[in-house]
Chain A
Amino acid sequence: MKVTFPHLGSMHIFCKAIAETAGIPYIVPPETSRKTLTLGVLHSNECICLPFKMILGNFIEALQMGADTIVMVGSGPPCRLGLYDLVQKVILEDMGLHYRWLTIPPRLTWQAIWKNHEETKELRKELSARNIFLFPYGLWMGWKKMMACEALEQLAMKVRPIEIKRGETQKRLKKALSWVDEAKTPRVLEEAIQKGKALLQEMEQDRSRIPFKVAIIGELYTVMDPHINRGVEQKLGELGVEVTRTSWFSTHIMRSLRKNKADQTSERTRFFEASKAYLGYDVGAECNVSVGEAILRSKEGYDGVVHLMPFACMPETTASGILTKVGKDWDIPILTLILDEQEIEGRIQTLLEAFVEMLEWKRRAA
């Protein structure tokens, strides 16, 4: 048995840590590249959303490298994410690739647990007692690593706009993330985190600069994965913008476990409540949160909002229609970037430069 999982953002570090610690053989798909995307595009059609294509490409590459068991986080209605596995399975089958599929249920209902039990019946025979015994420890390590990655990324978002040598933050962040990824024991991991944080903090910084504050909102995969959004976060940072985002893997995992009820009142619920001025119902996925976050960010004095969505994404299309009005009503610049497989990195750079320039005029006029 060789397990594989999507490469998405820093999620592969999380999955890899679990497998590694529990001693389960795994294959990390190669870093998402042009080739990954081409594979995904070739085996789907133009109106299927970009995350679908990226994940499909990851799976094809991993299966070709010898993986045989796919682990995928499931999701539910109403958006298409919930049916990714149904369609991807038949595509892989049609391509003649052999695989076994394991869906991690998005919500722990009895039905989901039963289905998971059915799917893992065969797999469990291949796991040794040691694997099963170590699994909870693996989960703990994975969680620790994920939190570490997120903390490092958040730190990078803070220092990137005031870096003196452009691109230095990204280089250091990559190094720090790889330390976290490579750590095998809790002690080494703790050291890696401290070392990584120090690496970012000790970088040469120009503290006299006042960065713009911009929130990145939108569909969660496009927000979280730099390959899908072509590094919007990094590009904005290097243009002198301090970026904030509320979509992280941990927030979505916590949300599906319904663990952070208290935390919800502070963030997502707050955004959701704010969206009610425009939306009379929960449209699904991140739609309402996107609308609400744009409104509240304007109230909090942010300079602008960047809204990311895959082409033809169902809930976010509704959100983008509403956001044009929100931008006018609340006097906050909103840039919607619709992402698909086309080579648009250069265009995104130009759009972001123009956006930041506009923020500068706005600041000067104020």
Chain B
Amino acid sequence: MEEKGRLGIPRALMFYRYFPFWRSFFERLGWKVMVSDGVRQKEKIVYFEDSCLPMKLLVTHAMQLKEKVDHLFIPRLVSIHRTYIMCPKFRGAPDIVRLATERKVSIIDETIDLRKGGISLLQSFLRIGERLGASRQESKKAFREAEQSFSQFQKGWTDRINRLPTRQLFEMDIATPPAGRKAPLRVAFIGHPYNLFDIDINKDLLALTKSLGMEIITSDFLSEQEIDREVSGLSKEIYWSSGREIVGSLFHFLSGGVDGVVFLTSFKCGIDALLQEFIKRRLKVRGGSSIPLLILSLDEHTGREGLTTRLEAFQDVVEQRKTENI
């Protein structure tokens, strides 16, 4: 198929969950998908608004791409769950980028709101296809194929996290290497996907963890029922899907099955700040857990050295507890 043009996807926010899906969809429609590079130095971050680091990185990545592409893909993610919603900042994200790029680049900002029912995702992508000049049939076919390859991709997810460098996790062309030696410790990493997998945010904490001999598991590993069981009895429903996932999986892992739990949060993340307080207090009130919990708050000033020290100390605690229990 001839190339229709270039479509840019900023390496930020929900890129770190849905990129394989997005890429398959656009490539099947004949677009060349361009992804922004890393940021590496904090001097390069664009401070358009005073938000959390992940949001600032979205603007930065969009600025990197704006001259190289015909369209930028920044979907307006209102809800990615049939009942629960996303953080309100996601609703304004395309508008913020539009102002930061001074309206000079076309932004595909189709609303994605899965609360509207089963086929609303397909409908959103049909509208996206329409904006890119594809027919309904073409879009539909691309959507189905993207769906298939994405579910294929998700199956091997836990292995990928443990066996590939963080930068290559979302490169579908790179196959997962065979399993190496089994790590002695199993540690759950909890947090928004961009906090876990964006090495500009967490200074590649995952690589560090792996080098210290820890196996990583994430909340993707849990079923929705397992998460729901932990959060459905609360006096009020947590209405952010990411918040539910964080609280539910955290309580789930703290009740057993792992040797330690690490919770990564972004400084100034409203959801994390509030739920962090809730988690800490509830653990205290309910008698706590014997599994060590490490909460790391990240921003652009976070240094690799500081993280290393804390992670090593955490490893000591985890190991000590494990030997005591045997």
Question: Considering only CB atoms, which chain A residue lies closest to B47 in the complex?
Answer: A321
B: contact size bracket: 35 or more
Report yes or no: B270 in contact with A322, Cβ–Cβ below 8 A: no
CB distance from B119 to the nearest CB of A (A): 20
A279 contacts which chain B residues (CB < 8 A)? 92, 95
A47 contacts which chain B residues (CB < 8 A)? 267-270, 272-273
Is residue B235 within 8 Å, beta carbon to beta carbon, of the partner chain? yes
Is residue A79 within 8 Å, beta carbon to beta carbon, of the partner chain? yes
Is residue A315 within 8 Å, beta carbon to beta carbon, of the partner chain? yes
B32 contacts which chain A residues (CB < 8 A)? none
Complex CA–CA separation, A280 to B302 (angstroms)? 34
Is residue B140 within 8 Å, beta carbon to beta carbon, of the partner chain? no
Report yes or no: A314 in contact with B267, Cβ–Cβ below 8 A: no
Is residue A283 within 8 Å, beta carbon to beta carbon, of the partner chain? yes
Question: Considering only CB atoms, which chain B residue lies closest to A278 in the complex?
Answer: B95
Q: In chain A, residues 187-212, which have Cβ atoms closer than 8 Å to a Cβ of chain B? A: none
- Which of A84-92, A143-151, A218-226, A252-260 touches B? A84-92
A: contact size bracket: 35 or more
Number of A-B contacts (CB under 8 A): 128
B174 contacts which chain A residues (CB < 8 A)? none
**Contact bitstring A86-114, B, C-beta under 8 A = 1, else 0:** 11011101100000010000000000000
Complex CA–CA separation, A338 to B51 (angstroms)? 12
A49 contacts which chain B residues (CB < 8 A)? 270
Report yes or no: A314 in contact with B99, Cβ–Cβ below 8 A: no
Is residue B28 within 8 Å, beta carbon to beta carbon, of the partner chain? no
Is residue B111 within 8 Å, beta carbon to beta carbon, of the partner chain? yes
Is residue B76 within 8 Å, beta carbon to beta carbon, of the partner chain? yes
Report yes or no: A317 in contact with B95, Cβ–Cβ below 8 A: no
Q: Which of A46, A86, A94, A322 contacts B238 (CB 8 A)?
A: A86
Question: Considering only CB atoms, which chain B residue lies closest to A47 in the complex?
Answer: B273
Complex CA–CA separation, A318 to B268 (angstroms)? 13
Report yes or no: B88 in contact with A318, Cβ–Cβ below 8 A: yes
Is residue A232 within 8 Å, beta carbon to beta carbon, of the partner chain? no
CB distance from B29 to the nearest CB of A (A): 23
Is residue B45 within 8 Å, beta carbon to beta carbon, of the partner chain? no
Known: A77-B239, A82-B239, A83-B236. A93 touches B285 (CB 8 A): yes
| Residues of A that sit less than 8 Å from B by CB | 44-49, 52, 76-80, 82-83, 85-87, 89-91, 93-94, 101, 278-285, 287, 312-315, 317-318, 320-322, 324-325, 338
Further 16 A-B residue pairs, CB within 8 A, beyond A44-B277, A283-B88, A318-B95: A45-B277, A52-B274, A77-B239, A78-B86, A83-B239, A85-B236, A86-B234, A86-B236, A87-B281, A89-B235, A278-B95, A278-B99, A283-B89, A315-B89, A321-B92, A321-B96
| Residues of B that sit less than 8 Å from A by CB | 48-51, 76, 78, 85-89, 91-92, 94-96, 99, 109, 111, 234-236, 238-240, 267-278, 281-282, 284-285
A-B contact pairs, 30 of them (CB 8 A): A47-B273, A48-B273, A52-B274, A76-B239, A78-B91, A78-B239, A80-B271, A83-B236, A85-B236, A86-B235, A90-B281, A90-B285, A93-B285, A101-B235, A280-B76, A280-B94, A280-B95, A281-B78, A281-B95, A281-B111, A282-B91, A283-B91, A287-B92, A313-B270, A314-B87, A315-B89, A317-B49, A317-B89, A318-B88, A322-B96
